[in-house]
Chains A and B, each alone.
Chain A
C-alpha cells in the first residue's frame, strides 16, 4: 500500500468516528445579517485612496498617449536604460515600445533560457533592470489591489525583480471587491500558471514592527489608470 493510499484510508476511517465537521461544538456568535456595506465611493476613487494608503501611487491619465508619457516619465526620473516588460499588447498601450526606444530606453521581455550557465547569467542581468512594466488583468477597489496573470509575453519577474513596478490598468477592469472579481471571473486562476494579487509595495515589519518597504519585491508600485 502506498503512502497515498494509507493516508486516504486513514482519513476515510477516522472521519467515520463521528466527531468532526458537522458535530464540532463551536462557540459561535449568531451570524448577523449584515449586508455587504455598499461603499458610496465610486470604485475609481476607492481604488486610488486604498492604494495610496498602502504607499502605492496612482497616475490617473486621460488617454493612451498620456499613459505612455506617464510610463516614460517614471523611467526618465530613474534614468532607467531598460525596462523589464510584458509584450506591448499585454501592457495594453500601443506605441509604448517605440516611445521607449525613442527615449533610449530598452525593452526586455524577460525570456529565461534553459540550461546553465545561460539561465543564471540571464537572471543576473535581469536583476539589474530598474523598472518593470506590466498590464493588469483586474483590480480590486476595496483594497487597492492589482491582479496579474502570468502567460506568454507576460513575465512574472516584471512585477517582482525591479525596484520599481509600473502597471497599466484599464478602468473597466476595476471590481469593487475580491468576491465580486471571483464571481465575475471564476476561472481566473487557471488562465496562467501564476495569478498574483498585489496590494502596494513589498513591505516588512519584522524588525521591531518598524515598517520598511522594498524588502524583496518592488519598493515602488505605480498604477497608470487609463479610462
Chain B
C-alpha cells in the first residue's frame, strides 16, 4: 500500500485538543472504563496470577508461531473450513473480494474487525459494487458518519448522544421520537440492522482468537451482532491477525476471563462465540442428523501485513496484545486526545508501538512520542506487555534516522557525553538550576528559549529544585542499619 504524507501525531493531537468538548467526552468514557476494570480485578483475587499465565500463553504461541499456524490450518480444514493466507493488506482485500465475487454476493453484514479496518476492506468491497454494513452499534454509527472508529472497544466514545442523534436524523431520516434517548436510538439501529442481517449473502467478521488444537475461532461480543453475522448469511469470512492464536481451549478460557474484565469490567462478555467449521450436515442428507442453521461456508483469512517482520525483534512482544483497550483507557495522553489523533486504526499506547512497527517510522515518525512513559499501560495490560520499553526502542530508532533534526542529534550526543562525567554534570545542573530559578515565577517557566520552546508551547516547565538529588543523597547521612 502506498503511504501518503507522514502522519503527524502532534498535529492530530492539536486538532483534538481544539475540538470543543472532545477531551471531556473521551475522559468521561475512559475514566468509567478504567474504574470498571479496577473494580473487576479487585473482586478477582486470582487475577494477577492469571495475567502471568496469560502472558506465558501468548509468549508460547508467538514464540512457536509456525507450529501453531500449521496446527490451526490442519484442524480448521478437518472441520470443513477454508484457510487463506494474506501476506499484505492488498492480498486480504483481494481474497475476500474473490470469495464474494465467486458467489455473486451483493450484500455484506460486518461484525467488528480491527483487521478489516487495517486493510481497508470496506472501501474495496464498496468499489466492487457490494453493499457493506457495519453491525456493531458503535461501528455502524461511525460508518454512517463517515468516520473511523476512535477506540478498539468503544468506537464512538468521541460522540455524545446528541452527535449520534444528529447522524441518525441525517442518514436514516429518524424523527424526534426515534432519537429521544439512547434506548430508542438503539432500538432504531436494531430494526434497521435486523433487516440488513436477514437480507445479507455474506457475513464478514474479525475474531478475538484462533484455537490451534481445534481450528476454531472465537468472537467475543456484547451485542450479539457477532453471532448474527456468523450465523445468518450463507457464507462467513473471518479475518484474523496471524498472531492471534491460543494453543488450547483451556488457554482460551484464561484469555476470556481476562479480556472482559480488562475491557469493560465484566466477568465474561455476553457472548463468547466459538466456531468450529461451517454448519454440519449428515452426508446421507438426513435433516434430523444435520445442524438446522449456520453458514454453509466458513473462510478464515490469516493476515500477516507486517506482523512476521516483528518476530525475533525487540518489538515482538506487541504481538501478545489481545486488543482489550485497557491501555487506551488508562493512558493520560489518550484520555486527553482520543483515538483519531493517532491517525491510524490502532490508537493509544498499543497503537503508538504497533502502528510504526507495522507501517514504519517513515509514515508515523512521531507516534512513539505520544506517551509520557508513565507506565500506566504496562501496569494495566492483561498480558503485561512492556509498552514503554518498546516506545523507547522506537524513539531510539527514530533518533538515528537521517531526517532527525541536527539539533536533536547533537543535543542527545552532548547529553550522553555529559551524563557520564559526574563533575561536569553537577556543574551543568548547577548552572541550569540557577538559570531556571532566576527566570521562573512561582516555580514555573512559561517559556524556554531556542529549540526548547517546543516543550513550553503546551505546558509549563518546572524550575529545578533548590537542592539536587546528588546533594540530598550525600546529606542523608549513613545508611540506616539493616
User: A-side interface residues toward B, CB under 8 Å?
Assistant: 2-4, 6-8, 10-12, 14-22, 24-29, 31-37, 50, 54, 109-112, 114, 119-120, 123-124, 127, 140, 142-145, 150-157, 160, 178-179, 181-183, 186, 188-190, 192-210, 212, 214-218
Contact = CB atoms under 8 A, between A and B. Distances in A.
Contact of A21 (B62, B69, B194, B385): B62
Contact of B182 (A24, A27, A36, A208): A208
Contacts of B268: 140, 143, 145, 178, 197, 199
Given A193-B294, A215-B186, 4 more contacts: A11-B311, A31-B48, A144-B267, A178-B268
30 contacts: A3-B87, A7-B308, A10-B309, A12-B66, A15-B66, A15-B312, A16-B312, A19-B316, A26-B55, A27-B386, A27-B389, A34-B49, A35-B46, A119-B234, A150-B293, A155-B293, A156-B294, A178-B253, A178-B268, A182-B250, A186-B250, A196-B227, A197-B273, A204-B137, A207-B186, A208-B161, A210-B183, A212-B182, A216-B224, A217-B223
B286 to A, nearest CB: 8
B190 interface: yes
A153 B280 CA distance: 12
Contact of A206 (B85, B141, B269, B312): B141
A18 B312 contact: yes
Contacts of A218: 224
Nearest to A200: B270
Interface string B267-311: 111111111111110100001111111101000001010001111
A209 B29 contact: yes
By CB atoms of chain B within 10 A, which of A4, A16, A26 has the most?
Answer: A26
B155 interface: yes
Contacts of B216: 189
B394 interface: no
Contact of B224 (A54, A145, A202): A202
A4 B85 contact: yes
B222 interface: yes
Given A120-B198, A156-B231, A111 B287 contact: yes
A94 B67 CA distance: 47
A189 B209 CA distance: 14
B96 interface: no
B89 interface: no
Contacts of B275: 193-194
B91 interface: yes
A2 to B, nearest CB: 7
B249 A188 contact: yes
By CB atoms of chain A within 10 A, which of B63, B312, B385 has the most?
Answer: B312
A24 B224 contact: no
B154 interface: yes
B330 to A, nearest CB: 15
Nearest to B242: A7
B190 A156 contact: no
By CB atoms of chain A within 10 A, which of B86, B137, B277, B308 has the most?
Answer: B308
A28 B154 CA distance: 28
Contact of A199 (B269, B293, B378): B269
A18 B312 CA distance: 5
Contacts of A17: 311-313
A127 B194 contact: yes
Interface in B219-246: 222-225, 227-228, 231-232, 234, 242
B399 interface: no
B223 to A, nearest CB: 5
B451 interface: no
Contacts of A20: 62-63, 311-312, 316
B467 interface: no
A125 to B, nearest CB: 10
By CB atoms of chain B within 10 A, which of A17, A120, A123, A217 has the most?
Answer: A217
B16 interface: no
Contacts of A145: 268
Nearest to B216: A189
Contact of A8 (B69, B223, B231, B274): B69
A190 B276 contact: yes
B193 interface: yes
B461 to A, nearest CB: 29
By CB atoms of chain B within 10 A, which of A2, A6, A14, A214 has the most?
Answer: A14
Contacts of A179: 250, 253-254, 257
Contacts of A217: 223-224, 227-228, 270-271
B291 A10 contact: no
Contact of A24 (B28, B59, B70): B59
Contact of B66 (A8, A50, A160, A209): A8
A186 B248 CA distance: 9
Interface string B310-343: 1111101100000000000000000000000000
Contact of A160 (B199, B224, B253, B313): B224
B138 interface: yes
Nearest to A127: B198
Contact of A157 (B181, B182, B293, B317): B293
B293 A10 contact: no
By CB atoms of chain B within 10 A, which of A7, A10, A11, A199 has the most?
Answer: A11
A19 B311 CA distance: 7
A203 B222 contact: yes
By CB atoms of chain B within 10 A, which of A124, A179, A197, A198 has the most?
Answer: A197
Per CB-CB distance, the 5 closest pairs between chain A and chain B, nearest first, are: A21-B63, A217-B224, A17-B312, A206-B138, A216-B224
Contact of B48 (A7, A32, A186): A32
Contact of A19 (B186, B270, B313): B313
Nearest to B201: A116
B110 to A, nearest CB: 13
A214 B55 contact: no
B294 A150 contact: yes
Contact of A37 (B45, B272, B277, B308): B45
B156 interface: yes
Contact of A32 (B49, B63, B87, B278): B49
B136 to A, nearest CB: 7
